[in-house]
Structures are given as C-alpha cells and as structure tokens.
C-alpha cells in the first residue's frame, strides 16, 4: 500500500506545480472555486490515466511478462527524469489569459499523460488497480486543491521544486520495481 501512496504523491506533483501557478495568477476566479476546479480536473484525469495504462499493460503482459519489471523501471525512470528536467529547466508558468474549463481540461490531460505510463507498473504491485487509481485520483485532488492556495500565498517559486521532488520519487519507485519486485 505504501507503494501506491508514494506513486500517487509523486504523480500528483505535476498537477501540484500547475495548481501553484494557477493559484498565483487566479485570473477571474475565487481561490476556493479555482482550487475545487483544479482538484476535480486533475484528480479525475490522474485516476483515469493509470487505469488506462494498467489495462493496456494487461493486454500485452503475456508477451512481455519476463521483461515487465524492466519496462516498468524504464517508464518510471523516464517519467521521473522528465519531471526533474522540467523542474530544473522551465516553470509551468506560461501566461493564461483566462482559466476556462477548456484550459483546465488541456492542463489535466497534459499533467496526467505520465500517469498512463506509470499505470503499467500497477501490474507488478500486489494491489487492487481500481483502489490504487482511486487513491491516486483522491491524492491528486487534495494536492491540487492545496496547490492553488499555496500559489496564492507564495507565488510560483515552489513549482519547479515540486516537479523535481516528484521526479525523484518516481525514479526511486522505478528502482524498487526493478530490484525488489522481480
């Protein structure tokens, strides 16, 4: 269970970073409204994408089962490295004129694509995939909701740090899958 909590926390860091940026800008929303909207959009997509990755992985698992831990490690390491790179080299803070549902949908999809690849690793953990995805979604909802308030209070200086931290945790989970779940 600790693996899914760590995975949920790490995957939510992209959404947290974006939520900080949204909270710092707010553009026409109350903080409470924007926090709920960010939590809802990011939470739903972070729950659905790993489920899609899990189901897709189940379809090909028979063909790649002997290499599954290597594939899961590679995916988690790549996602983690990408998050670390983005955290070091760029911020999420592009200017958004108005935070619409279309913008939120786009941001939710963009921040959850990585979760689809991470869903493959759920096959190797001895956990219920639906429960795991629900935990990932709920964790992301809470983290994103809080991220808007953090952004309102602190500005955007935490965005990159959240991405780097999430990336490091994903790489660590990848090593755990590689060395301890084979």
Residue 52: CATH number of its domain: 1.20.1250
Alpha helices in 90-158 (DSSP H): 101-119, 129-154
Number of Cα atoms under 13 Å in the Cβ half of residue 173:
31
pLDDT of 82: 80
- Out of 2-16, 113-127, 130-144, least confident range: 113-127
Is 70 exceeded by the pLDDT of residue 87? yes
CA of residue 5 relative to chain centroid, distance: 12
Average pLDDT over residues 84-90: 75
**Tens digits of per-residue pLDDT, 89-114?**
765 445 555 778 888 888 888 888 77
The whole-number pLDDT of residue 14 equals 83
Provide the pLDDT confidence category of residue 44 given band limits of 50, 70 and 90.
very high
Backbone angles phi, psi at 46, to 5 degrees: -70, -20
- Domain of residue 44, residue span: 2-179
Domains held by the chain: number: 1
Distance CA 162, CA 67 (A): 31
User: Which of the two residues, 40 and 88, has the higher pLDDT score?
Assistant: 40
pLDDT in tens, 130-162: 999 999 999 999 999 999 999 888 876 776 777
Q: What is the pTM of this model?
A: 0.77
């Amino acid at each position: 269970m600790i693996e899914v909590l760590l995975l949920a926390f790490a995957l939510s860091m992209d959404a947290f970073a974006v939520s900080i940026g949204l909270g710092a800008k707010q553009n026409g929303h109350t903080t409470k409204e924007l926090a709920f909207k960010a939590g809802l959009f990011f939470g739903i997509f972070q729950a659905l994408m790993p489920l899609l990755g899990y189901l897709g992985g189940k379809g090909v698992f028979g063909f790649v089962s002997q290499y599954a831990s290597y594939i899961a490690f590679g995916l988690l390491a790549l996602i983690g490295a990408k998050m670390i790179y983005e955290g070091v080299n760029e911020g999420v803070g592009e200017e958004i004129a108005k935070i619409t549902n279309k913008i939120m949908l786009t941001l939710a999809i963009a921040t959850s694509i990585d979760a689809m690849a991470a869903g493959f690793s759920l096959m190797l953990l001895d956990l219920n995939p639906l429960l795991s995805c629900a935990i990932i979604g709920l964790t992301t909802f809470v983290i994103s909701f809080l991220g808007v308030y953090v952004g309102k209070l602190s500005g955007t200086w935490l965005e990159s740090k959240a991405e780097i931290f999430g990336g490091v945790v994903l790489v660590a989970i990848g090593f755990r899958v590689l060395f301890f779940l084979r």
